[in-house]
Amino acid sequence: MQAITIKDFEDWRAVARVLIANATRPSEVQLFEDDGQQALFAEDPTLRQAPTAQSSFGVPSRFLSLAESVGCHRAAGRWDLLFRILWRIKNEKKNLLEIETDDDVLQLTKMEKQVRRDAHKMKAFVRFRKVVQDGQEFFVAWHQPDHRIVRRVAPFFSRRFSGMNWTILTPDECVSWNQESLEYGSGVSRSQTPQSDELEELWRTYYASIFNPARVKIKMMKSEMPVRYWKNLPETDLIADLLAEAPRRVEEMIEQHEGFDKTADDFIKRFPNQLMTLSALKQMAAGCTACHLHCNATQTVFGAGPANARIVLLGEQPGDQEDLTGDPFVGPAGEVLEEAIGSAGLDRRELYVTNIVKHFKHTQISSPESSRPPRGKKRLHQKPNAREVRACRPWFDAEWSCLKEAEKLVCLGATSAKAVLGPGIKLTDQRGRVCGSDYCQQTFVTWHPSVILRASNAAARESKMRELIEDLVLAKDSV
Amino acid sequence: MASERYQSLDSKLAILADAAKYDASCASSGSKSTRKGSQIGSTEGMGICHSYTPDGRCISLLKILLTNYCIYDCQYCVNRVTSETPRARFTVDEVVDLTLDFYKRNYIEGLFLSSGIIQNSDYTMEQLTLVAKKLRKEHRFGGYIHLKTIPGAAEELMADAGRWADRLSVNIELPTELDLKQLAPEKKKPEIVEAMTGIKEKIDERKSDQKKGMKPPRFAPAGQSTQMIVGATATPDNEILKTASELYTGQSLRRVYYSAYSPIPHADSLLPGKSPPLIREHRLYQADWLLRFYGFEVNEIVVRKDLNLDLEIDPKLAWALQQRDYFPVDVNTASREQLLRVPGIGARSVKRILSIRRHKRIRTDDLKKLRVAWKRTKSFVITEDYNPALADLDRDDLQRLITPAAKQLDFFDTFDAALRGEL
């Protein structure tokens, strides 16, 4: 039995070459790890001779790359295993590696996988800390790999961080990159690494925030990020707290809801199509409590107009007067609309007029401070929010499907225009032209008459009114 | 002061990472070579997961929203306009700096940037692209960038996005048009599909230019992906898989991500308040694999009458139990296609079996050494030696033999194995 000490992969390669040339069998030799001590036995100096033409031979390139990788493994028996497989490839079967269920091959591929995984984890788990010295930035990391992989992985870091000065410290070996070349040094202890980096708090915030407490899978986390790496990762001490809080957070998420349990849909009784009429809908809508707006309003203000109307006007919501009378557009804004309809050569009695939200949303305020004594509460219009629009919208959808001859839809104001054409639209961009919608090709948008009431001066009022009339004319005349 | 800057960043990051976590995609693979002239960052084909959170998902990219203000009202989304969730907005420079700072410390592989819709599609898309462009041009950043594109944004903006990003994605969100109408009224399927087609055409165009010997600029070298939310509506698995299959063939997508609808803070009352259907999500991923790598068709995979996948057993086993006539398969003579259909044998094992077969006859021990899931495999295969489990192939209670009742509760074993490295 011959005992040989192996320094590294290149050394093994040289020795193995000679052993094969000498027809030494695996059972006749034992390959030891070089532990830095004097060899126990005097070794044959011819073992490390340069290869000659006779002694060199070919092996499958796959074996070489596997062997180089397994050479980094920490297991003591790796040099023997490699030599045994080499010998078998030479003497037993050239394609030995293709038989993956062979016990030697199985062992080889398993060790190769361990090294590859360790190298991959090094690429993943090295954490640099920034140090500034003489105005120059350096990035320093401490890492404890399972195997001797520093030289296998260092080139990856030099490609990735080519424009940085960095150093990776490990117990076996250290490596530095100065933006030009890699330099290796001997291993160090952890105490030589910088203790903190100001970015770590942000990173921990990110880690805690990206975690979804509703999908806890600890086993999966531990298999991919084994616990032995945790001590060098700044984020992992958050794990215990994140897990402890997870059940409570999920319960809260499941229990807490926003918005309304219902929409108008829940109040629409499903009649056969031919029995569904506007007046039946109006009756159903009178009892609608889908959103909370009904609480402070007098009544539901449903649309009004003939069932055979060809043009439909859609406003935002009823106002103070409408809320009291129960009919749409009967207050001051209604008067402006009436005037515009007339000027456009239309007849209101032929139009169907309605709102996208059917209850009056308002706040109560004391009337403005003035010399006059207060006159009690005044109801001030409030814009309905998207949630209220969504809850109420099925009423308009149902109205639309009852209006069998409707072929043109005019949205008055941004609230209804956005509900019909999408939230990204701008009234100023869309008015004055035909815009197709899910309801009908001939959809138009224009000013809400209340804009004209609120205009700050006569000129603005006039121009807005002119545009409203123009838009109604456009709707009337377009085909 | 730096520390003040970090504090304001910290609270924004908490909101905008939290808002981004429901997007399942985290892949950082697919770009085979690093952009020329890069100073910081590389892409060499394989993705790297830099950390794992206790939900078992990897952290590969800095996944954040530029802002969670949004004008849309998609019911399943925590950022919809009607939600009371706290809002924040990063500046373009803040995202650029954060990405570089994290990258330089080796926390991440790159950036996955998405956004709520602010103002309109074009403006939002422009802001997202600006981040990528700044990283590439001003900082010579060579790491991975995934941009979520906004359907309806102008074609030139998409073209620009593809130039700076490695991967683009457009979320299909829900499997059918009806689902979209119900839960995401402002999102239109034709618009989403059009955006995907636009990206596909640009990728194809670049490939054909390259074939002609030209050197066109990069365009999304890691391709495009999408995400579908599962379990927010009643749509069954076969519809979901049909949509996925159409996307793979029609749009050449690299990946379709399935995301179990997860309860969200500030959830709308109309949505199911329950734990996410994780097992269903897992079965969909398995079925997705069968579609892409095992030669199965959608209509074969879903065998149940309710058109859903079986939650208790994997879809290949479910198929095999129904198609007993197809078995037994002789591992020493069967074709690759036949081997791929055997329960418990993965694509990699099939490759190994074919290679070993050239040198020796395969015995049951060989299969065990290859670490096929022998319990599921054994009743379906003929090996060189005597295989007693083969006698069970025609038994009515075969499913129970393979997955005893107690074991059925332990779904998460297989779950972990199958998802490893894939999400």
Please write down the HEC assignment for all residues of B175-243.
CCHHHHHHHCCCCCHHHHHHHHHHHHHHHHHHHHHHHCCCCCCCCCCCCEEEEEEECCCCCCHHHHHHH
Residues 6+ apart with CB under 8 A from B164: B129, B132, B133, B135, B136, B145, B147
Residue B274 has what pLDDT? 73
CA distance linking residue B339 with residue B341, whole number of Å: 5
Q: Which residues of B touch A218 (CB under 8 A)?
A: 54, 56
Do B10 and A164 count as a contact with CB atoms less than 8 A apart? no
Evaluate the omega torsion of the peptide bond into residue B328 and state whether it is cis, within 30 degrees of 0: yes
Q: Is B415 on the interface with A (CB under 8 A)?
A: yes
Q: Is B344 left (phi over 0), alpha (psi -120 to 50) or beta?
A: left
pLDDT of residue B416 exceeding 90, the answer is: no
The answer to whether B57 contacts A214, with C-beta atoms less than 8 Å apart, is no
Could you say which residues of chain A have pLDDT below 50? 370-374
Distance from CA of B401 to the nearest CA of A (A): 26
Measured torsion, CA atoms of residues A466, A468, A473, A478, in degrees rounded to the nearest 10:
130
Contact A220 B56 (CB under 8 A): yes
Residue B356, Cα to own-chain centre: how many angstroms?
Answer: 33
Please, which residues 165-224 of chain B have a Cβ atom closer than 8 Å to chain A? 185-186
B residues 296-355 closer than 8 Å to A (CB): 352, 355
Q: Is the CB of residue A397 less than 8 Å away from at least one CB of chain B?
A: no
DSSP letter (8 states) at residue A356: S
Band of residue B119 on the pLDDT scale cut at 50, 70, 90? confident
CA A200 distance to own-chain centroid: 22
Q: Look up the ipTM and state it.
A: 0.92
Phi, psi of B112 (to 5 degrees): -120, 105
DSSP-assigned states of every residue in B32-49: -SPPTT-SB----SS---
Q: Which of residues 401-430 of A touch B (CB under 8 A)?
A: 422-424
Q: What is the mean pLDDT of chain B?
A: 90
CA B137 to chain centre: 29
A-B CB pairs within 8 A amount to 230
Residue reference for tokens 């959608």 = B298
Residue to mutate among B44, B53, B95, B258, with most A CBs inside 10 A, is B53
Interface test with A, best of B107, B285, B411 (most A CBs within 10 A): B107
pLDDT at res. A314: 98
Q: Cβ A212–B22 below 8 Å, yes or no? A: yes
Q: Provide the shortest C-alpha distance from residue B22 to chain A (in Å).
A: 8
DSSP-H helix ranges across B252-334: 278-293, 298-301, 315-322
Residues A387 and B74: their CA atoms lie apart, in Å, by 11
Identify all chain B residues contacting A100, using CB atoms and an 8 Å cutoff. 352, 355-356, 369-370
Tokens describing residue B88:
């924040």
In this model, does residue B409 exceed pLDDT 70? no
| pLDDT for res A2 | 85
pLDDT tens-digit series, residues B125-181: 999 999 999 999 999 999 999 999 998 899 999 999 999 999 999 999 999 999 998
Give chain B's domains with CATH numbers.
Answer: 2-227 (3.20.20), 315-419 (no CATH)
Q: Which residue of A has its CA nearest to B143?
A: A160
Q: CB–CB of A212 and B21 under 8 A?
A: yes
CA B113 and chain centroid, separation: 16
The Cα A307–Cα A404 span in angstroms is 7
What is the helix (H) or strand (E) element at residue A222, kind and residue range? helix A218-224
**Whether A206 contacts chain B with CB within 8 A:** yes
pLDDT at A41: 59
In this predicted model, what pLDDT tens digit does every residue of B273-313 receive, in sequence order?
Answer: 677 888 899 999 999 999 999 999 999 999 899 999 999 99
Nearest to A427 by CA among A454, A453, A448, A408: A448
Chain B interface test: which of A100, A117, A232, A418 (most B C-beta within 10 Å): A100
B51 has a chain A CB within 8 A of its CB? yes
Averaged pLDDT, B62-75: 93
Chain B residue with the nearest C-alpha to that of A420: B186
Domains of chain A: 2-119 (no CATH), 126-192 (3.10.310.20), 203-255 (no CATH), 264-477 (3.40.470.10)
User: Is B240:B277 a contact under the CB 8 Å cutoff?
Assistant: no
| Nearest chain B Cα distance for residue A4, angstroms | 32
Residues pairing with B67 in the sheet: B89
Interface contact flag, A224 B49, Cβ < 8 Å: yes
Is B82 in Cβ contact with A390 (below 8 Å)?
Answer: yes
